[in-house]
Amino acid sequence: MRLRRPLVALATLALLATAACSADVEGRGDAAPSAGASTTPTPSSAAEDPATPAPDLSLGPEPTGVAGGNATKVCGDALKASEAGTTAFVDSLSKVLEANGKGDTAAANEAEKKLDAAIDTWAAALRTSSSAATDAQLKTTLAQLADEVGKLTADIETIDDTKLGAIQDRLDALCPD
């Protein structure tokens, strides 16, 4: 069972949302880039921007194998939570971007409230899975993922894809197929 799909969706969303909201950022009302404007999203990776401090990747020891105990159930629950959370995040973020694109502040504020609620629900479901895990590494890794999900906002540039990717790699190693 692989948990990577929800984070791949977030990375794809980040690319699409950056391109889609270029009109809002540039204040023109269309998605065509202005002369000299880059349509390539700027990654938030410290490796590509030396002025940005490196992300804190002190996640603990690398997993040495598949988690034991109730890992199959916990990983299944975490996958369901992440699929539902990613869907809710993408839907809500799309509504925020759409409202901002139309200049509808009231709708944007309402959409951001729903986005915050979706993030809170997703993070809480991951924390529940973490609490239920009997394997210590799985418990810790799910708690780390819940913390990172809890940091998500409508500003996709704040997504720490390096840290999320590292956590997902750990979950992929820990969760049984």
- Encode pLDDT of 47-89 as tens digits: 444 444 444 557 777 877 899 999 999 999 999 999 999 999 9
What tokens appear for 129 in the block? 């899975």
What is this structure's pTM?
A: 0.71
- Predicted confidence (pLDDT) per residue in 81-135, tens digit: 999 999 999 999 999 999 999 999 999 999 999 999 999 999 999 999 999 999 9
Ordered by start, the domain boundaries in the chain are 1-14+71-177
125 versus 155: the higher-pLDDT residue is 125
Distance from CA of residue 165 to its chain's centroid? 10
Instruction: Give yes or no for a contact between 169 and 59, defined as CB atoms under 8 angstroms apart.
Output: no
Residues 155, 139: Cα–Cα separation, whole Å: 28
Task: Assess contact for 99 and 107: CB atoms under 8 A.
Answer: yes
End-to-end CA distance of the chain: 4
